[in-house]
Amino acid sequence: MDRTVFLDRVRAALGEAPGPELPTEWPPTPASGDGTVDPERFAAALAATGGLARRVGRPGLADAIADVARELRSGRTVVVTADADRLYRTELDEGLVAARADAVRPSPDGWRGEAARADLGITSAALAVCSTGSVLLVPGPECPRVASLLPPAHLVLLPVERLVPGLEDVMPVLADGAAAASSAVLVTGPSRTSDIEMITVLGVHGPRVLRVLVVE
In a domain, 150, yes or no: yes
| CATH number of the domain enclosing 167 | 3.40.50.10420
Percent with pLDDT over 70 in the chain: 90
Question: At residue 191, does pLDDT exceed 70?
Answer: no
> Residue 78: inside a domain, yes or no?
yes
Q: Is the pLDDT of residue 57 over 90?
A: yes
pLDDT at 35: 86
Q: Is a pLDDT exceeding 70 seen at residue 206?
A: no
Please report whether residue 13 resides in a domain.
Answer: no
pTM: 0.84
Task: Assess if residue 168 is contained within a domain.
Answer: yes
**What's the pLDDT score for residue 98?**
97
Share of the chain above pLDDT 90, in %: 60
pLDDT at position 197, please?
59
Is 28 part of any domain? no
pLDDT of 153 reads: 95
Q: What is the pLDDT of residues 58-91, one digit of tens each?
A: 999 999 999 999 998 778 999 999 999 999 999 9
Q: What is the pLDDT of residues 116-173, one digit of tens each?
A: 999 999 999 999 999 999 999 988 888 899 999 999 999 999 999 999 999 989 888 8
Distance between CA atoms of 174 and 169, rounded to whole angstroms? 9
What per-residue confidence (pLDDT) applies to 74?
75
Confidence of residue 13 (pLDDT cuts 50, 70, 90): confident
Domain assignment present for residue 20? The answer is no
Selection from 9-13, 73-77, 107-111 with the highest mean pLDDT:
107-111
| CB neighbourhood size of 41 (10 A) | 19
Domain total for the chain? 1
**24 belongs to a structural domain:** no
Cβ–Cβ under 8 Å, residues 214 and 157: no
Residue 134's identity, in one-letter code, is S
pLDDT of residue 181: 67
Q: Which domain holds residue 182?
A: 36-215
Mean pLDDT of all residues belonging to the chain: 88
pLDDT in the model for residue 91: 98
Would you say residue 142 lies in a domain? yes
